[in-house]
Amino acid sequence: MRLLPLVVTVVLTVALAYYIYIPLPDGIQEPWKLMFLDAAFRATMHLASLKHWLGIDHYVTSIRGSTAAFEGTMKGLMSSESSGAVIPGVKVSDIDFAGIPVRVYEPPAGGEGHLRRGLMFFHGGGWALGSGKKGSYDETNRMVSDELNTVVVSVEYRLYPEVHFPVPYLDCLAAAKHFLSPEVLAKYAIDPERVAVSGDSAGGNLAAAVAQEISIDDSASVKFSVQVLIYPVLQALDFNTPSYIENQHIPILHRPIMVQFWLQYLGADLSLQPQMLVNNHSASQHSTITPELRSRLDWTTLLSQKYKKNHKPLVVEKGSHELLKEIPGLLDVRSSPLLAGPEVLAKCPRAYVVTCEYDVLRDEGLMYVRRLQDAGVTVTNDHYEDGFHGCFSFTMWPMEFDVGKRMLRGYINWLQNNL
């Protein structure tokens, strides 16, 4: 009987190791830390799905609850650490812009007549998770406000399942128009020639879409000076780009999860995921997807050979006739900024686009860089060869990654020199 506890311990240890371990490319630094992070994320997802199946809670709200509990624990642990989360002199206010909740970070007041930079930030989270008020987002915005003498406005747009597209986009657009109004800029002493829009992942999607709309809005007297897109989500017609295939099992954004995020955002039935994964929604027979439209996300011409390698495009001849009718948002440039025409892109502000080698979204970010450049827009692309999706958010103990800290510093440095 004394052997039983040992056997149980060994079995549980092996099972845990099996659950945690996943093969990762040699180029990823700190692999075990990423494995533990991914295992925690998967466990949270599995538990949330079980609770949803049992009718206890919606799986998204369950994930939010688990995330909030984790952040609360980390905040308690960090109370004895010198995290620097509270930066003296930065004033933080939770208010509304045009009825949309925002958090405003104001740097210490400067001398008479000195105008400050302005930056609007949209957080990531698949249009379902996250908050700009918490964790690394909050710390990053405090740093930017303090170091760059910038008024930062972080937007708390509404999320799935409470709302679907286009509500998050409309929330961000309304907040952006309010921020760019001469009255608000004057109130915060912001130079109207130095205002940026920024976001990561789904927030990068919203930042790109809002930047496009503001750029072509003739009624807007002030427009964004620059746009900063950190591994942005930009299209939903091709889930078989080289990066989607190569990185489909790389944490923390697995290919099926990204498709699920899209279906949720567009208010579609989640059972359509298998068809989307094989590009049945963008079959060549769909007359609404014209050759011109396809060319705007044709990675065979927009990517360099370094990323195309020996991959072949997956274009289904006869897919589902009804998918585009069921999900009209798939062709809406407000949800898929990569689909915008060259006449729109030509009016967009200078751009800083961050891409990661080990990210399913790598190629659409690179394609957007190419299309903006072809339209005459000045673009800086920082590509992190050891980067993975989400690393911009992992800059705080205990889940801090060196690549995340380098990415954060690159982000701040670029704003310092270009805004």
pLDDT in tens, 309-331: 999 999 888 777 678 888 999 99
- Contact criterion met (CB below 8 Å) for 202 and 124: yes
Question: pLDDT for 233-277, tens place per residue?
Answer: 999 999 999 999 999 999 999 999 999 999 999 999 999 999 999
pLDDT recorded at residue 81: 46
> Known catalytic residue: 389?
yes
- Contact criterion met (CB below 8 Å) for 96 and 103: no
- Separation CA 161–CA 311 (nearest Å): 36
φ, ψ for residue 163, nearest 5 deg: -140, 165
Question: Tokens 């409309």 belong to which residue?
Answer: 170
Question: Tokens 């044709």 belong to which residue?
Answer: 298
| Distances, alpha carbon 74 to alpha carbons 69, 77, 81, 230, in Å | 9, 5, 11, 25
Confidence of residue 80 (pLDDT cuts 50, 70, 90): very low
Question: pLDDT for 12-55, tens place per residue?
Answer: 555 556 678 889 999 999 999 999 999 888 888 888 888 888 88
More confident residue, 218 or 285: 218
Give the DSSP letter of residue 28. Answer: -
Helix 31-53 × helix 59-78 angle, to 10°: 140
- Contact criterion met (CB below 8 Å) for 369 and 362: no
Angle, alpha carbons 101-102-107 (nearest 5°):
160
As a residue count, the chain comes to 419
Q: Widest CA span of the chain, in angstroms?
A: 81
Question: pLDDT for 84-97, tens place per residue?
Answer: 456 878 999 999 99
**What's the CATH code, domain 91-236+331-418?**
3.40.50.1820
Q: Which two tokens stand for residue 270?
A: 């989640």
| Distances, alpha carbon 219 to alpha carbons 181, 332, 350, in Å | 11, 22, 20
Q: For residue 70, is pLDDT > 70?
A: no
Q: For residue 213, is pLDDT > 80?
A: yes
Give the DSSP letter of residue 401. Answer: -
Per domain, the residue ranges of the chain are 46-77, 91-236+331-418
| Distances, alpha carbon 419 to alpha carbons 37, 195, 288, 411, in Å | 34, 7, 39, 11
Beta bridge partners of 230: 200, 354
Residues with Cβ < 8 Å from 373, sequence gap 6 or more? 379
- Separation CA 122–CA 135 (nearest Å): 14
Question: pLDDT for 120-153, tens place per residue?
Answer: 999 999 999 999 998 999 999 999 999 999 999 9
The residue annotated as part of the active site, out of 138, 286, 389, 393, is 389
Give the DSSP letter of residue 348. Answer: S
Give me the numbers of helices (H) and strands (E) for the chain, helices first please.
17, 8
- Separation CA 259–CA 254 (nearest Å): 9
Q: Which two tokens stand for residue 343?
A: 């006449």
The residue annotated as part of the active site, out of 200, 359, 363, 386, is 359
> Known catalytic residue: 359?
yes
* Ramachandran quadrant class, 213 (left: phi over 0; alpha: psi -120 to 50; beta: rest): alpha
The residue annotated as part of the active site, out of 201, 282, 335, 393, is 201
- Contact criterion met (CB below 8 Å) for 155 and 172: yes
> Known catalytic residue: 269?
no
